[in-house]
């Protein structure tokens, strides 16, 4: 048993009683994700299975921030409650414990990995205008301090576009919970392929509706570099891509006509003539690669 596994067992015994034991041989072979290590344990005399979720990166300010953020998300989810998410049992965002790092203890998601979002009212401090302005202002502050790899001028250009892309009438719309990493590995199903749980909130965030309504990733024109290292937007700008985007938009339009409400707002955003430029404008608020690509093309990507 590794030192980390021994520390996990010590915490489990202190919380659930002295007869906790590992299951699925995770004491020697814990499950490994991209950012987290998972231990499964039987506790309370074998009547309950729980999951220890521990960051793989060494404990530091960023690790603590990410875990504290997930703890906050899970408390909101549990208070909802929102179905299909495993309940948080305990957590510690500090390193003052036998593991010497932060961790979460969650209910175990029973089932198998799938082979192949949930609303809250927007608080005043998270209204869309404040949300996007704060993101860009943080970049400007970093550029002024010399700790951001984009230029100060390009950050200021991005901020000047807020008036163009902010939608005031959607400012009071609810926030949307975005998982951020929906894939087969993170969807647990039973033998009948009914969804049992959605796991791993490492990339999750709450976003204002007007900055969460977007096409699926495979229908976006992510910028790439050509053989000479120049940024190009046209690698995915094909006739098939345009046809698929039009079909997807028609499906959202049909649903919006029936349901109205938040779906109508979703359709309205996707149907904007400047949707591509607007999408990459707000994505670049948190992604340096997109920021550089947008700055290089004058914030007007040459695709439709």
For 57-73, the pLDDT digits (tens) are 889 998 999 999 999 99
CATH match of 3-107 with 3.30.200.20: yes
Q: Where are the beta strands (DSSP E) in 14-58?
A: 21-22, 31-32, 36-43, 48-55
Query: Where in the chain are all domains bearing CATH 3.30.200.20?
Result: 3-107
Write down the pLDDT at residue 118: 34
Instruction: Give tens-digit pLDDT for 3-45.
Output: 999 999 999 999 998 889 999 889 998 988 778 999 999 998 7
pLDDT band at 125 (very low <50, low <70, confident <90, very high): low
More confident site: 263 or 174: 263
Count of CB atoms within 10 A of residue 264's CB?
A: 15
Residue 149: CA atoms inside 13 Å, Cβ hemisphere, count? 9
How many Å apart are CA 9 and CA 177, to the nearest integer?
33
> Residue 69 and residue 71: Cα distance in Å, rounded?
5
Q: Which of 168, 177, 82, 173 is nearest to 123 (CA)?
A: 173
Residues with Cβ within 8 Å of residue 132, at least 6 apart in sequence: 162, 166, 208, 211, 282, 285
């Amino acid at each position: 048993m590794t030192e980390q596994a021994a520390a996990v067992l010590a915490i489990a015994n202190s919380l659930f009683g002295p007869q906790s034991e590992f299951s699925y041989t995770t004491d020697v072979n814990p499950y490994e994700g991209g950012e987290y290590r998972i231990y499964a344990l039987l506790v309370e005399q074998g009547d309950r299975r729980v999951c220890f979720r521990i960051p793989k990166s060494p404990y530091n300010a960023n690790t603590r921030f990410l875990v504290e953020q997930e703890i906050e998300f899970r408390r909101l989810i549990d208070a909802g409650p929102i179905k299909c998410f495993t309940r948080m049992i305990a957590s510690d965002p500090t390193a003052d414990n036998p593991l010497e790092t932060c961790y979460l203890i969650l209910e175990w998601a029973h089932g198998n990995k799938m082979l192949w979002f949930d609303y809250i009212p927007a608080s005043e401090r998270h209204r869309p205008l404040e949300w996007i302005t704060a993101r860009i202002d943080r970049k400007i502050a970093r550029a002024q301090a010399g700790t951001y790899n984009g230029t100060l001028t390009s950050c200021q250009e991005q901020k000047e576009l807020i008036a163009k892309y902010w939608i005031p009438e959607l400012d009071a719309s609810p926030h949307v919970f975005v998982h951020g990493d929906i894939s087969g590995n993170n969807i647990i199903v039973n033998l009948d392929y009914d969804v049992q749980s959605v796991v791993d909130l490492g990339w999750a965030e709450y976003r204002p509706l007007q900055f969460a309504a977007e096409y699926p990733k495979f229908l976006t024109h992510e910028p790439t570099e050509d053989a000479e290292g120049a940024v190009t937007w046209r690698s995915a700008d094909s006739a098939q891509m345009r046809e698929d985007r039009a079909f997807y938009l028609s499906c959202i339009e049909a649903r919006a006509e029936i349901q109205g409400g938040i779906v109508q707002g979703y359709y309205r955003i996707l149907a904007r003539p400047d949707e591509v430029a607007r999408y990459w404008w707000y994505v670049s608020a948190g992604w340096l690669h997109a920021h550089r690509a947008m700055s290089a093309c004058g914030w007007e990507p040459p695709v439709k």
